[in-house]
């Protein structure tokens, strides 16, 4: 965002991946409200020709190397869908829950990128040409502890002879790739969808009638406009060669159900497509009806927009203190404490006489903002924030940048040996991860690891390592090094990130964030980014993706995070009332080829499913010594992960603030049809007969599902 008029800045929130780590839907909703308000303030002050709101990138963060993972809410479809729904509700002016007024919009928000998109540019494979299908080699190829079936981009005509064409399966679409978009539409009431650049099983998503018309408009009752990603229509012909002529590309997308082209391709080739009979007047009218219906819902034909209910949002609503306080809260609540040996943190302001701040990410405010940002209301680096706590504070960059191909380790070691405490600010920047850039490695870039180890060896006390990055990094070396006392992940924390980090380090804020993604070891890079399978394949050693299906070792698990307080969880017998199975009496069970007996959720019907809903009440207590905000995560697990079942899956989460020694009851509504079901190979949702375990922390209870 570029501001050239009377407004020179706007509130800059953390990148989505860090905000998601709070597991706090009320925070996400409020951010959506503020972003909508400030954007309208910018528009009303003549600094934009029109308003476009994108929902967060709600593709599941499936591969840790993806450059745009920082824009997503993480790897769990349930969490990602919830983020999308409440954020869209905030932007569009709906309540955080409840009914949606489909005839009234404060603003229009668009869910992107639909679907199976999480690759930018990996080893020359670009998102523009990528066909999200699985190419299975007929032989095994062991690499660095893994063996897998080779998967690489190609087109059908240039396919290696030893490969078989696989697909993004109906199973993976049903339980991983599509659920966040379904939630964005059904629960969030989104008025826009953006189709992605890539192809899915050979078909460009913007030209896929099954995705756009049958699934989104048909199955999900989507009522809005569908836009291409920018220039995605052009690449259907110019890059992918899917369409034989430009006019065919225009016809393909309009007949599939797309309504508006981000770019000029339809403007350039639409008339000739019509003249050649490849599109009809009805194709054009259908797209126009969808677009103008949204404009009507926005009130754009209700007279002078200055006099509508949003026309009086002025410059005084941009960079408001209330909004900046929310940006600070988002950074505070998302920060994740990964290691804290022997109480290395929090630091005591009265006992820290000097501090050395070392690292390429320690004194550059722009590095806090990540991918996609506007000029922030404030600009405070971590070093500047720490200077407010310690009078004797010195900064040494140590590396030229996150790439760290030029370093001054000697100067850093000298600073470390001279100071009372050392805080290292390492990680990544937008040269390693952003739109159009994927990573090839999962470790810290260049000489960063060497710098960290030598500084830790020279320091008087165990050092503190703060990581600024969107995607995960393998910091096993630091996790296992006793001279590194604490590790903090701060994502890209936005304009208030430096302040939030300092507050966490000095105990003015009790960290409560939890990782929204699995942190994998370096060896995971043996798995091609182009392999779209979610489930592990034991026969070849393919390890699977995300905490639900991954079978390999981890550096840190999904949902992991420490606190300065100790919390306990247990199910409260009073209030937790599992249902009677009589609600599905007489339902026909079917057996899979693997022998698993299950019930089809669709056959059960809405009435039976409603009767099976039940409350699960969790007693959570903060045993101190500090007040804190704590995410309560509710999981389902099965006795085994056979027949395509996940090892476990998140079914609910809430964030609760507790004073030291305070306890509270948190209630979840559990719906077996929604939460106990899994996707069968054909994409149908089924509930397996037998035991299901509902789990919070170390406590769980069993529910036997038997008709």
Positions marked active-site = 229
Q: How far apart (Å, rounded) are the C-alpha atoms in residues 172 and 132? A: 12
Q: How far apart (Å, rounded) are the C-alpha atoms in residues 285 and 268? A: 18
Q: Which helix (H) or strand (E) holds 548?
A: helix 546-549
Q: How far apart (Å, rounded) are the C-alpha atoms in residues 242 and 204? A: 8
As to burial, measured by CB atoms within 10 angstroms (0-12 exposed, 13-18 middle, 19+ buried), residue 282 is exposed
Q: How far apart (Å, rounded) are the C-alpha atoms in residues 466 and 358? A: 10
- Joined together, the tokens standing for residue 76 give 């769990």
C-alpha angle with apex 90: 655 to 66, nearest 5 degrees?
70
| Cβ–Cβ < 8 Å for 396, 425 | no
| Cβ–Cβ < 8 Å for 630, 659 | no
Phi-psi region of 398 (alpha: psi -120 to 50; beta: other; left: phi over 0): left
As to burial, measured by CB atoms within 10 angstroms (0-12 exposed, 13-18 middle, 19+ buried), residue 679 is buried
Q: How far apart (Å, rounded) are the C-alpha atoms in residues 265 and 272? A: 12
Q: How far apart (Å, rounded) are the C-alpha atoms in residues 225 and 229? A: 13
- Joined together, the tokens standing for residue 61 give 């963060």
DSSP per position, 400-465: SSTT-SSB-HHHHHHHHHHSSEEEEEEE--TTTSBTTB--S--S--TTHHHHHHHHHHHSSS-EEE
Nearest to 79 by CA among 640, 667, 633: 633
Q: Which helix (H) or strand (E) holds 487?
A: strand 484-489
Q: Give the helix ranges, DSSP H, for 187-280.
A: 209, 232-238, 246-256, 265-275
Backbone angles phi, psi at 25, to 5 degrees: -60, -30
| Cβ–Cβ < 8 Å for 131, 198 | yes
| Cβ–Cβ < 8 Å for 443, 412 | no
Q: Give the helix ranges, DSSP H, for 63-150.
A: 77-92
Q: How far apart (Å, rounded) are the C-alpha atoms in residues 442 and 578? A: 43
DSSP per position, 155-207: -GGG--TTEEE----HHHIIIIISHHHHHHHHTT--SEEEE-SSEETTEEGGG
Q: How far apart (Å, rounded) are the C-alpha atoms in residues 29 and 393? A: 38
Task: Tell me the helices (H) and strands (E) count for the chain, helix number first.
Answer: 18, 30
Nearest to 650 by CA among 188, 117, 180: 180
Nearest to 654 by CA among 644, 674, 669, 640: 669
Paired sense of beta strands 597-600 and 590-591, if any: antiparallel
Backbone angles phi, psi at 295, to 5 degrees: -65, -35
Nearest to 513 by CA among 371, 361, 328, 331: 331
Q: How far apart (Å, rounded) are the C-alpha atoms in residues 489 and 469? A: 8
Q: How far apart (Å, rounded) are the C-alpha atoms in residues 63 and 545? A: 7
């Amino acid at each position: 965002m570029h501001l050239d008029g009377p407004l020179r800045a706007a509130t800059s929130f953390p990148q989505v991946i860090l905000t998601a780590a709070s597991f706090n839907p009320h925070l996400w909703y409020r951010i959506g409200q503020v972003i909508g308000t400030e954007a309208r303030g910018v528009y009303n002050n003549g600094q934009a020709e029109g308003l476009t709101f994108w929902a967060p990138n709600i593709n599941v963060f499936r591969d840790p190397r993806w450059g745009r993972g920082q824009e997503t809410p993480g790897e769990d479809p349930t969490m990602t869908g919830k983020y999308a729904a409440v954020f869209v509700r905030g932007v569009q002016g709906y309540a955080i829950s409840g009914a949606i007024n489909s005839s009234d919009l404060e603003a229009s928000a668009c869910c992107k990128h639909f679907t199976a998109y999480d690759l930018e540019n990996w080893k020359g494979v670009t998102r523009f040409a990528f066909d999200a299908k699985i190419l299975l080699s007929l032989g095994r190829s062991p690499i660095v502890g893994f063996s897998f079936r080779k998967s690489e981009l190609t087109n059908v005509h240039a396919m290696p002879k030893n490969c078989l064409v696989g697909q993004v399966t109906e199973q993976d679409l049903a339980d991983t790739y599509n659920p966040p978009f379904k939630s964005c539409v059904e629960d969030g009431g989104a008025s826009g969808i953006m189709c992605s650049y890539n192809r899915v099983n050979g078909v460009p998503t913007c030209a896929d009638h099954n995705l756009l018309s049958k699934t989104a408009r048909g199955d999900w009752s989507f009522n809005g406009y569908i836009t291409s990603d920018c220039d995605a229509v052009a690449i259907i012909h110019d890059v992918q060669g899917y369409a034989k002529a430009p006019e065919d590309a225009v016809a393909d997308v309009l007949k599939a159900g797309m309504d508006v082209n981000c770019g000029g391709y339809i403007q350039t080739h639409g008339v000739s497509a019509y003249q050649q009979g490849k599109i009809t007047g009805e194709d054009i009218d259908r797209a126009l009806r969808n677009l103008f219906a949204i404009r009507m819902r926005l009130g754009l034909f209700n007279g002078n927009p200055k006099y509508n209910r949003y026309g009086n949002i002025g410059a005084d609503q941009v960079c408001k203190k209330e909004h900046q306080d929310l940006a600070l809260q988002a950074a505070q609540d998302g920060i994740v404490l990964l290691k804290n040996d022997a109480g290395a943190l929090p630091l005591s302001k009265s006992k820290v006489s000097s501090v050395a701040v070392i690292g390429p990410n320690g004194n550059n405010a722009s590095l806090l903002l990540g991918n996609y940002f506007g000029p922030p209301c404030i600009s405070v680096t971590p070093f500047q924030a720490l200077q407010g706590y310690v009078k004797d504070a010195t900064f040494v960059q140590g590396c030229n940048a996150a790439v760290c191909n030029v370093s001054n380790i000697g100067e850093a070691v000298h600073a470390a040996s001279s100071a009372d405490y050392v805080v290292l600010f390492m990680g990544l920047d937008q040269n390693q991860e952003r739109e159009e850039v994927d990573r090839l490695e999962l470790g810290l870039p260049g000489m960063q690891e060497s710098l960290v180890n030598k500084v830790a060896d020279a320091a008087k006390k165990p050092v503190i390592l703060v990581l600024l990055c969107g995607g995960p990094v393998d910091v096993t070396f630091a996790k296992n090094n006793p001279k590194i006392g604490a590790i903090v992940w701060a994502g890209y924390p936005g304009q208030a990130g430096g302040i939030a980090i300092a507050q966490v380090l000095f105990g003015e804020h009790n960290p409560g964030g939890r990782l929204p993604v699995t942190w994998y070891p370096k060896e995971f890079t043996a798995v091609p980014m182009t392999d779209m399978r979610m489930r592990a394949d034991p026969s070849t050693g393919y390890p699977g993706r995300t905490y639900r299906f991954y079978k390999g070792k981890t550096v840190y698990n999904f949902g992991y995070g420490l606190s300065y307080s100790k919390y306990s969880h247990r199910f409260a017998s009073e209030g937790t009332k599992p249902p009677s199975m009589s609600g599905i009496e007489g339902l026909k069970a079917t057996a899979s080829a693997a022998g698993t007996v299950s019930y089809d959720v669709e056959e059960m019907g809405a009435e039976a499913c409603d009767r099976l809903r039940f409350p699960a009440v969790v007693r959570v207590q903060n045993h101190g010594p500090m007040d804190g905000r704590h995410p309560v995560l509710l999981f389902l697990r099965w006795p085994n992960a056979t027949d395509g079942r996940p090892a476990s899956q998140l079914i609910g989460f809430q964030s609760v603030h507790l004073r030291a020694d305070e306890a509270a009851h948190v209630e979840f509504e559990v719906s077996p049809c929604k939460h106990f079901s899994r996707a069968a190979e054909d994409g149908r949702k089924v509930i397996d007969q037998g035991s299901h375990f509902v789990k919070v922390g170390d406590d769980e209870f069993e529910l036997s599902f038997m008709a």
